Amino acid sequence: MVTRARDSATRVRRPGSGGRRAVWATRGALVVAAGLLATIGVGAPAGAAGPATVVRTANNKTWGKILVLGNGDTVYRLTSDRHDKSVCTGLCATIWPPVTLAKGQRSPVGRGVKGLGAITRPGGARQVTFDGDPLYRFSGDRTPGQTNGNLKDTWGQWWVVDPSRPHSPPVRARTVARHSSTKGRSTTTTTHSSGGGYGGGYNY
């Protein structure tokens, strides 16, 4: 594939207007070749780092502003963890996969998020933390945006992370539609109540 693209380039000659057409043809061949190489992964150095781990905020319709990964997956904290110390290992880490840095990544990327860090887990993986709390995903969340992990299980209480109060139970956001009788249209306000008591208990 690379040879074909190079052969196409070597055939280019630029006498007159025909040369301009040949240049564009060669550019097109090189672009196509590059796209095919990227698709099949040829040319990437062995051990190259994967996509960087990104943490950002999202406005969840149930829990308000929470931390999520770049793809929208919800992240959680375990109240049993200590500052910069994870107690979730073995089966726990299978059900609650730690959020780790990509290979070769030195620190997590925060989009509108400050206070991110990383700790070293048994085995050497670097787990992302927020304000000292190790972060996890939940295997029970099937799609980005789900928050099925607000629960208590064998390892303790799990919560989504409210970046404004990361060490407290999250504030549950409740949207209330209020109709205006004077203007004949509805307006929306958001009220909050404590997050305690939500998310049933699971034992593994």
Distance between CA atoms of 61 and 77, rounded to whole angstroms? 19
Residues 6+ apart with CB under 8 A from 188: 175, 176, 177, 178
Contacts 24+ apart (CB under 8 A), 173-177: 173/60, 173/61, 173/62, 173/63, 173/64, 175/61
Domain residue extents for the chain: 2-40, 54-194
Average pLDDT of the chain is: 74
- Give the predicted TM-score (pTM) of the model: 0.65
CB-CB contact of 153 with 204 (8 Å): yes
Task: Flag whether pLDDT at 39 surpasses 60.
Answer: no
pLDDT tens-digit map of 4-31: 444 433 333 434 445 444 434 434 433 3
Q: Is 32 helix (H, G, I), strand (E, B) or coil?
A: helix
Mean pLDDT of 35-56: 53
pLDDT-wise least confident of 43-57, 74-88, 119-133: 43-57
Mean pLDDT of 167-181: 59
| One-letter amino acid for residue 157 of the chain | Q
pLDDT-wise least confident of 24-28, 63-67, 150-154, 193-197: 24-28
pLDDT tens-digit map of 147-166: 999 999 999 999 999 999 99
